[in-house]
Amino acid sequence: MGTEYIFFSGKGGVGKTSMACTQAVRLAEEGKKTLIVTTDLASNLADVFEQSIGHQITPIQGMPNLWAMEIDPDKATHEYIDRAMAPIRAAFPPQIVQVMEEQMSGPCTAEVAAFDRFTDFLEVPTGEETVFDVVIFDTAPTGHTIRLLELPAEWSQSIDAATAGSGQTCLGPAAAIQDAKHKYERALTAMRESDQTTFIFVLHPEAISIKETRRAIGELSKLGIQNFRLIINSIIPPEAAQNELFAARAKMQVQYLAQIDAALPYPKQRMPMLSGEIKGVHRLRQVAKIFFDGSSASKTFKAENVEPQMATLATPLADLRARIQPNGHRRTVFFAGKGGVGKTVASCITAVWLARQGYKTLLLTTDPAAHLGDVLDTPVSNEIASVSGLANLWAVKIDPKAAAETYKERILEDARRRGRPESAIATMEEELNSPCTEEMAAFDKFIEYASQDEFQAVVFDTAPTGHTLRLLELPVDWSKQLDVKIFASVETTAADDVAKQRFGKVIEMMRDPEQSTFAFVMYPEATPILEAWRAARELGTVGIHPGLVVANMVIPLEQANTDFTHARRIMQEKYLLEITERFGLPVAQIPLLPQEIKGLEMLAQLGERIYQGELVTEKVVANLNI
């Protein structure tokens, strides 16, 4: 029998890596040669296994039969560009080569490169010396994973069209990557083979997590992938339910567990919430006994001993307000962070609070899953509309696919107006049909909204990455990048002055802390902190620095009144201190509540608690249970 492939996927923050590592350890214990590979940009395999791993296959210490690799997106990108450009460097002038290399510096190439490296492991043999019995892919959060899996078909179309036309794609020269097309097709074929490949979705018993899982399975089904399993993670155990907060959350979970059974008819397993972090081979073996053998979690899992933190963790409320309120001119607040950490909740709380302070506020998202409407408990459309029940608040979701069509039409119409020849316009259209256009188009739509003077505050759920901003700052005019596909002589005048000025103005606004705040949202846990730190450093390369940190799902101090909740609160305090020391920024804390955050009333109450610290009324206490 050939190599077995297991993909772990799901919304960010649901425990994919922990469960993937647990599966890997159990398979290795059974004597199967197992490789675990991650394509997650915020990989924490090294943290879970407590050893260095990196961009090469590495044996796991103390665990025979187990190897791991973290695909480094930067290294993978350099390797990919070098391979794709090698024949071009020998055939074309340096000016053309430089333009093409700059064109391949965008986020699309990084995505392609990661997938290209990832498909190497779907080939047989997988390594020069070792053939693995099982390869486990700890994938990136759902939306990104689906994007990677959709790409082979788009690449094939892009390569075919470019081969018939100009010979160039946003993925690199068509001739140079033509051979890769067959590799990608073989990869997708392997993913569709149910006897060989399993997709395991990890989810929490919560509404948004269920919705995201259903959406992702639907998208994968369209690609012909059919073999799904579920792991329902973080189920409140009996020992935790002795506490009133966790007892209320356990009651909420019962309803969602029934919903999962009804709505997701796939084989499923349950995993209880543990009292501490899953780190190290020893604890992974303990988790495997709980998950696979049904051992008691309270008797089997031994949490790490963490010293209580004596340092004060409170941020002056005035410092928080100073980062989100308009200061004589419009303020734009961007919420960024690992998928699933609560960016949408944080952005909704903040937008509702600003609107209640009398600021005319726009709340918008480019998240394809678009959970704004779920949290506000009111529909949000693709057109700016006022939010019913609250003066001063408007909301809109940007559909990346619809934005890409509008963006494409505008670019082509502009080219026709400038009198470009039909051959050049055909080449532009071919280029704009590539997989690279949506991210640019969604950000372009945001620019349109951000350039308006109508709103005093703009709150943006899902901030643009450093990749996106670098793409906008490439030192070659967009018109040149489009023209170069036909290797024609390039106009020296900037054909895109107006558009570049719009982008330039907004990026300068994003760099100005008086006008903009990048707020990173995270759980007080290792992986989200690491992800946020890396993202902050990436934004720093384009001159944008974070101004605020939001710690979500913090167990209120008064609720740390059982052994289980006390152990988790102490663990959180360790990471709250790390957040404070690592970022050196004001930290807003969103408490863990007995139910999901939903509706304007709850958002308003939380806003008052977080940004004003007001003594809450008896009604609020009853609603929030804090």
Determine contact, residues 480/491, Cβ cutoff 8 Å: yes
Residues 268 and 332 in one domain: no
- Indicate whether 129 pLDDT > 70: no
Mean pLDDT of 443-472: 76
Confidence of residue 221 (pLDDT cuts 50, 70, 90): confident
Q: What is the pLDDT of residues 282-316, one digit of tens each?
A: 999 999 999 999 998 888 887 666 666 555 567 88
State what percent of residues in the chain have pLDDT above 90. Answer: 33
Residues 268 and 324 in one domain: no
- Indicate whether 181 pLDDT > 80: no
- Indicate whether 77 pLDDT > 90: no
What CATH number is associated with residue 52?
Answer: 3.40.50.300
Residues 165 and 228 in one domain: yes
DSSP annotation of 75: H
Residues 218 and 347 in one domain: no
Task: Please identify which residue in the block is written with the tokens 């640019």.
Answer: 440
> What pLDDT, on the 0 to 100 scale, is given for residue 464?
64
Q: Which residue has the higher pLDDT, 338 or 571?
A: 571
> What pLDDT, on the 0 to 100 scale, is given for residue 516?
92
d(CA 297, CA 286) in angstroms, rounded, equals 9
State what percent of residues in the chain have pLDDT above 70. Answer: 76
Residues 259 and 135 in one domain: yes
Confidence of residue 519 (pLDDT cuts 50, 70, 90): very high
Of the listed ranges 287-301, 450-464, 475-489, 529-543, the one predicted with least confidence: 475-489
Q: What is the pLDDT of residues 229-241, one digit of tens each?
A: 999 999 999 888 8
Q: Is the pTM of this model over 0.75?
A: yes
- Indicate whether 547 pLDDT > 90: yes
- Sheet architecture: strand order including 134-138: 58-59, 66-70, 34-38, 134-138, 4-9, 197-203, 228-235, 268-272
- Indicate whether 503 pLDDT > 90: no
Confidence of residue 202 (pLDDT cuts 50, 70, 90): very high
> What pLDDT, on the 0 to 100 scale, is given for residue 404?
83
Residues 352 and 268 in one domain: no
Residues 274 and 131 in one domain: yes
Q: Which residue has the higher pLDDT, 190 or 273?
A: 273
- Indicate whether 159 pLDDT > 60: no
Determine contact, residues 585/549, Cβ cutoff 8 Å: yes
Average pLDDT, the chain: 79
> Within a domain: residue 256?
yes
Could you tell me the two tokens for 176?
């140079």
Residues 213 and 325 in one domain: no
- Name the residues annotated as catalytic: 13, 15-18, 40, 527
> Within a domain: residue 430?
no
C-alpha to C-alpha distances, 117 to 79, 103, 122, 270, 345, nearest whole angstrom: 9, 20, 10, 32, 35
Q: SS3 for 431-451, per residue?
A: HHCCCCHHHHHHHHHHHHHHC
Query: Which residue range(s) make up the domain with 123?
Result: 4-294
Mean pLDDT of 436-447: 74
Could you tell me the two tokens for 94?
């340096």
Confidence of residue 249 (pLDDT cuts 50, 70, 90): very high
- β-bridge mates for residue 550, sequence order: 521, 588
Mean pLDDT of 184-209: 85
Number of structural domains, the chain? 2
DSSP annotation of 272: E
Residues 290 and 329 in one domain: no
- β-bridge mates for residue 266, sequence order: none
d(CA 63, CA 61) in angstroms, rounded, equals 5
> Within a domain: residue 122?
yes
Q: Which residue has the higher pLDDT, 331 or 621?
A: 331
> What pLDDT, on the 0 to 100 scale, is given for residue 102?
66
Q: What is the pLDDT of residues 341-358, one digit of tens each?
A: 788 999 999 999 999 999
Q: Phi and psi for 332 in degrees, rounded to 5?
A: -110, 125
> Within a domain: residue 278?
yes
Mean pLDDT of 554-577: 90
Q: Which residue has the higher pLDDT, 34 or 491?
A: 34
> Within a domain: residue 412?
no
> What pLDDT, on the 0 to 100 scale, is given for residue 272?
94
Question: Last residue of a domain, which of 263, 294, 325?
Answer: 294
Could you tell me the two tokens for 90?
């020998």
d(CA 411, CA 403) in angstroms, rounded, equals 12
Secondary structure class of 510 (helix, strand, coil): helix
Determine contact, residues 436/481, Cβ cutoff 8 Å: no
Q: Phi and psi for 117 in degrees, rounded to 5?
A: -70, -40
> What pLDDT, on the 0 to 100 scale, is given for residue 276?
84
